Amino acid sequence: MKEIPGARPVPISQLSRAQDRLTFLYLEHCVVHRDANAITARDARGTVHIPAATLGALLLGPGTNVSQQAMVLLAESGSTAVWVGEHGVRYYAHGRTLTRSSRLLERQAELVSNRSERLRVARAMYAIRFPDEDTSGLTMQQLRGREGARVRAIYRAHAKRTGVQWERRDYDAADFDSGTPINQALSAANTSLYGVVHAVTVALGCAPGLGFVHTGHTRSFVFDIADLYKTEITIPIAFDITAREVGDIGSETRRAVRDRMKDGKFLETCVRDIKALLTAKEDDTIEYGPEAFDDPDIVMLWDNNGRNVASGVAYDEDDL
């Protein structure tokens, strides 16, 4: 049999689970290519090799040229390529990831389509953020009011801790430099967080646009999940960086978020929280890492009677 041309796919055994990967890597002004099973980034200073199978998200900033083979490797490795703007604070697009099972996606769609279940998940999200408050019985309006009050208090507390002047969250997504230093730092930190959460979301097979609290945006669910960690990660980092009065606040903030996540614990937490939110009252033992990659590519047909039937079959009326 004639061998299929092109590089061989990455062996499943070499892939890392989503929660065990590096969080994200931001690149700009370089050429991104492939060398065996590694992504390479080359500029005038030399070439860096990045193991694709251990990478969660590759953020491609201005001046990056990426080859077709590099994108193939990222796709085969279950890594996400996210195209971002200058300073990493504008999202443009993302590449596909390797997900073979739709079980978690179907569960997400089921929950978001049922009003009472959607509210239950929203309450659970708020409980993760503020575990000292009882969210049972709260309406969405009450949840939003509680959230607003708590977040404003957190901003004031960090402003007092660091001595950074704080008025309100105010920024122009189209003009990063027009914001105050603290708002620039918050934007840069949040965008880095969004990139990692987006990578985890698609790696688990979920739909980024099916949000429970946020709605109407292609990344509503990403914003939902990212909000779980802002008070712990991005807000304190942004105030710390602003207090230092650094020259390039976007780069410094992005590196600080990277350093905060590099031990891998954030990915474990993010994966665990997403699965817990979506599999409550279902099977809490579902795993979506390389175990899911091992599943065969089986496509079934919906039968409207509680079971699925095999696809690839030309059914007759006698089969109904």
Strands 22-27 and 30-35, sheet pairing? unpaired
**Is 147 annotated to bind ligand?**
yes
Distance CA 276, CA 285 (A): 10
Residue 67: which residues within 8 A CB-CB, separation 6 or more? 31, 32, 33, 34
Q: How far is CA 317 from CA 63, 111, 303, 314, in A?
A: 58, 34, 14, 10
Q: Which residues contact 195 (CB under 8 A, 6 or more apart)?
A: 24, 57, 59, 82, 84, 88, 91
284 is in an annotated binding site: no
* 214 known member of a binding site: yes
CA nearest neighbour of 226 among 255, 204, 193, 203: 193
Distance CA 72, CA 96 (A): 10
Distances (CA, A) of 120 to 124, 128, 136, 152: 6, 13, 8, 24
Question: Which residue is it, tokens 């708002």?
Answer: 183
Kindly report the CA angle at 129 between 126 and 135, in degrees rounded to 5? Answer: 35
From the CB of residue 46, how many other CB atoms can be counted at a distance below 10 Å?
A: 7
Residue 147 CA to residue 142 CA, distance in Å, equals 8
Q: What are phi and psi of 290, to 5 degrees?
A: -65, -20
Q: What are the angstrom distances between the C-alpha of 14 and each of 61, 82, 89, 95, 129?
A: 27, 22, 32, 21, 35
Q: Which residue has the tokens 């990915």?
A: 267
Residues comprising the binding site?
Answer: 147, 214, 227
Residues comprising the binding site for Mn(2+)?
Answer: 147, 214, 227
